[in-house]
Amino acid sequence: MLPERFHHRDTQRDRGRKEIAAMERIVFLERNTIQANFRRPSFDHEWVEYPETLADQVIERAREATIIISNKLSLGEPQLSQVPDLKLIAIAATGSDCVDLNYCRRRGVAVCNVRGYAANAVPEHVLMMILALRRNLIAYRRDVQHGLWNQSKQFCLLVHELHDIRNTTLGIVGYGSIGRSMARLGESIGMRVLIAERKNASSTREGRTDFEEVLRESDVISLHCPLTDETRELFGRAEFQSMKRDALLINTARGALIDDAALVDALKNGLIAGAGIDALREEPPVHGSLLLDLDLPNFIITPHIAWASNEAVQSLADQVIDNIEAFVAERPQNLLT
């Protein structure tokens, strides 16, 4: 498929090369990852977009860009060093682990991300998983499909425990915009909310709770932190052993926050009561995953869609363009470098 090219103002074929070169060239490398309407920036520009871009296509497609819009593509020094006129990378996501920020700082390339767009979508997805697991939805659905209700001697088939979430404790790890929204949602339905301090922190900030105490006290732990060297495999066997046996773990952030093998062991051996996962280490998981092979009624996996309500995705698209316009107007916002 040929890329789309768009000039905000109609340009004549006979425009001089100098004037054309003065326009910003915006290259959107992964257009099909964002199913929303992107308005075009208000300044004179050339817009080039590709539905998808493979790793070995990045240099060729981005070479003449002054602005790159990316999502999950890996953009490191080998690729970015071949884009001589690059000024800005506008990440169409909150997470920035796919972009080499250190190289961008050294090179003087600005990087911005979008923030807060999924502050409703992600917490609602988390709540859905909590309710499904606490009410044993998957197990009951299987039982009905297998005809067990038909054989029941009572009007209901009550063979799995059902638990309310009111008056339970919700532990939140990661307290950005989504974590704060999750806290408000939890409180609104009667949950006690604990905000975890960083793991191994030497002191506990006001309003936070020691990480180990959150593990011990929480009935549900929800992860909302970025993936960094500090948070990689934040949850492993030791953390699962510290949790309540009837606790749930929900991860709608990044897959590598969790040791997959330790999670499988925790679920199979009853160290925790259940888990809901919306992110894997490799996405898409073309090489498979231990978690994809896990078929348990107390485990829910969704394909990284917690962020993707129609409303949230449109908000993301609008913010990407807001960020680009602000940068060109020399009023940059949401900068990471």
Per-residue pLDDT of the chain (337 residues; tens, 9 = 90+): 445 444 444 344 434 444 444 699 999 999 999 999 999 999 999 999 999 999 999 999 999 999 999 999 999 999 999 999 999 999 999 989 999 999 999 999 999 999 999 999 999 999 999 999 999 999 999 999 999 999 999 999 999 999 999 999 999 999 999 999 999 999 999 999 999 999 999 999 999 999 999 999 999 999 999 999 999 999 999 999 999 999 999 999 999 999 999 999 999 999 999 999 999 999 999 999 999 999 999 999 999 999 999 999 999 999 999 999 999 999 999 999 9
Which pLDDT score, from 0 to 100, does residue 22 have? 66
Q: Which of 254, 287, 311, 330 is catalytic?
A: 254
Q: Please, is 294 exposed, middle or buried when counting C-beta atoms within 10 Å of its C-beta (0-12, 13-18, 19+)?
A: middle
Which pLDDT score, from 0 to 100, does residue 8 have? 45
* DSSP helix/strand/coil, 89: strand
DSSP codes, 40-88 = PPSSSEEEEE-S---GGGHHHHHTT-SEEEESS--B-HHHHTT-TT--E
Find, among 200, 266, 207, the residue nearest to 231 by Cα.
200
Rg (alpha carbons) of the chain, rounded to whole number: 23
Strand stretches in the chain, DSSP E = 4-7, 24-28, 45-49, 67-70, 88-91, 110-112, 169-173, 192-195, 220-223, 248-251, 274-277, 299-301
> Computed from CA positions of residues 43, 112, 279, 306, in that sequence, does the dihedral angle turn out positive or negative?
negative
State the Cα–Cα distance between residues 306 and 278, nearest whole angstrom.
7
Catalytic residue flag (residue 304): yes
Catalytic residue flag (residue 283): yes
> Computed from CA positions of residues 285, 311, 183, 204, in that sequence, does the dihedral angle turn out positive or negative?
positive
Which pLDDT score, from 0 to 100, does residue 18 have? 41
How far is C-alpha 178 from the chain's CA centre?
10
Q: Which of 25, 198, 224, 304 is catalytic?
A: 304
The structure tokens listed for 144 are 């009905």
| Secondary element (H or E) of residue 180 | helix 177-188
| Secondary element (H or E) of residue 320 | helix 310-328
Structural domains for the chain: 4-117+311-328 (3.40.50.720), 121-305 (3.40.50.720)
State the Cα–Cα distance between residues 265 and 242, nearest whole angstrom.
14
Which pLDDT score, from 0 to 100, does residue 180 have? 98
